[in-house]
């Protein structure tokens, strides 16, 4: 399994994904699940993937092939005029892969399991963030709900529910996301380091800040230690139940 988070801020985007795949206790691997397409000064896209690895890789590859070999009719990520159109292109790619593979998966007792977080900016349009489902349909983030999670999200959700705001600074939001990952890593063995983290500043129209966070990353080690201390201190300082 995996864990992915995308947050839409007034000042940009924060996107992160772990790299663990798990096909059983004796078949654990690492695969990148944060994918980007970038045309500096014009547009950029970020796609986070969770679910059946063969399905998500097929969708990602199809999106890239469409750019290299454009269809006779229809747009690609390189030509889409809006982020809504780009999200539709991702949804259609999912449907294409589903049409090819779902019958074979079902015949072998498997399901077409895949989910995606898609974000980016085209020209002067504001950055936008979408949660795209296995059926190819999607919903869009709003100031009221500025983040999406896919994969093993339940352990990392409480911190986001309490802290996430669209007016956060990029660095603060990245810290929050890493706390969310730390909580997930502690409680779920199907999520694992390294974490791929990307931050994007609105209107830059190029990717400037990416980081792969491994087990020896000094900041992540410090954050994990300090967060544990802060939780223990907060718990101790709350008055005990009178029984």
- For residue 87, the model assigns a pLDDT of 98
Answer whether residue 115 is part of any domain: yes
Q: How far is CA 137 from CA 78, 83, 116, 117, 167, in A?
A: 21, 14, 11, 12, 28
Answer whether residue 205 is part of any domain: yes
For residue 100 the two structure tokens come to: 């090819």
Answer whether residue 242 is part of any domain: no
- Using 50, 70 and 90 to split pLDDT, how confident is the model at 205? very high
For residue 59 the two structure tokens come to: 């969708």
Q: State which H helix or E strand residue 235 sits in.
A: helix 218-237
Answer whether residue 243 is part of any domain: no
- For residue 24, the model assigns a pLDDT of 52
Total domain count for the chain?
1
Answer whether residue 72 is part of any domain: yes
CATH value at residue 120: 3.60.20.10
Answer whether residue 20 is part of any domain: yes
What's the mean pLDDT in 214-219? 96
Specify which residues 129 forms β-bridges with. Answer: 119
Contact predicate 120/86, CB 8 Å = yes
What's the mean pLDDT in 52-60? 96
Residue 25 pLDDT exceeds 90: no
The residue range of the domain holding 154 is 3-237
Q: What is the pLDDT of residues 151-164, one digit of tens each?
A: 999 999 999 999 99
Contact predicate 206/40, CB 8 Å = yes
Query: C-alpha dihedral over 149, 104, 94, 213, to 10 degrees?
Result: 40
Answer whether residue 119 is part of any domain: yes
Residue 144 pLDDT exceeds 80: yes
Q: What is the pLDDT of residues 90-137, one digit of tens each?
A: 999 999 999 999 999 999 988 899 999 999 999 999 999 999 999 999
State the pTM of this model.
0.96
Q: What is the pLDDT of residues 145-196, one digit of tens each?
A: 999 999 999 999 999 999 999 999 999 999 999 999 999 999 998 899 999 9
């Amino acid at each position: 399994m995996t864990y992915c988070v995308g947050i839409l801020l007034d000042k940009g985007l924060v996107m992160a994904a772990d790299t663990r795949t798990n096909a059983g206790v004796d078949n654990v691997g690492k695969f990148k699940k944060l994918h980007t397409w970038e045309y500096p000064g014009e547009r950029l896209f970020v796609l986070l993937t969770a679910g059946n690895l063969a399905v998500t890789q097929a969708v990602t590859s199809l999106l890239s092939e469409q750019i290299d070999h454009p269809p006779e009719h229809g747009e690609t990520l390189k030509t889409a005029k809006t982020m809504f159109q780009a999200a539709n292109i991702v949804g259609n790619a999912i449907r294409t892969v589903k049409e090819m593979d779902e019958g074979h998966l079902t015949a072998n007792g498997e399901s077409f399991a895949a989910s995606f977080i898609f974000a980016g900016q085209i020209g002067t349009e504001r950055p936008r963030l979408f949660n795209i489902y296995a059926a190819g349909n999607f919903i869009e983030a709003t100031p009221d709900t500025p983040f999406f999670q896919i994969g093993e999200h339940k352990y990392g959700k409480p911190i986001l529910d309490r802290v996430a705001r669209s007016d956060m600074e990029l660095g603060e939001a990245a810290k929050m996301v890493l706390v969310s990952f730390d909580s997930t890593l502690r409680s779920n063995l199907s999520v694992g380091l390294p974490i791929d983290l990307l931050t994007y500043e609105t209107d830059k129209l190029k990717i400037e800040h990416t980081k792969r966070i491994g087990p020896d990353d000094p900041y992540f080690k410090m954050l994990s230690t300090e967060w544990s201390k802060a939780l223990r201190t907060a718990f101790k300082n709350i008055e005990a139940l009178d029984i």
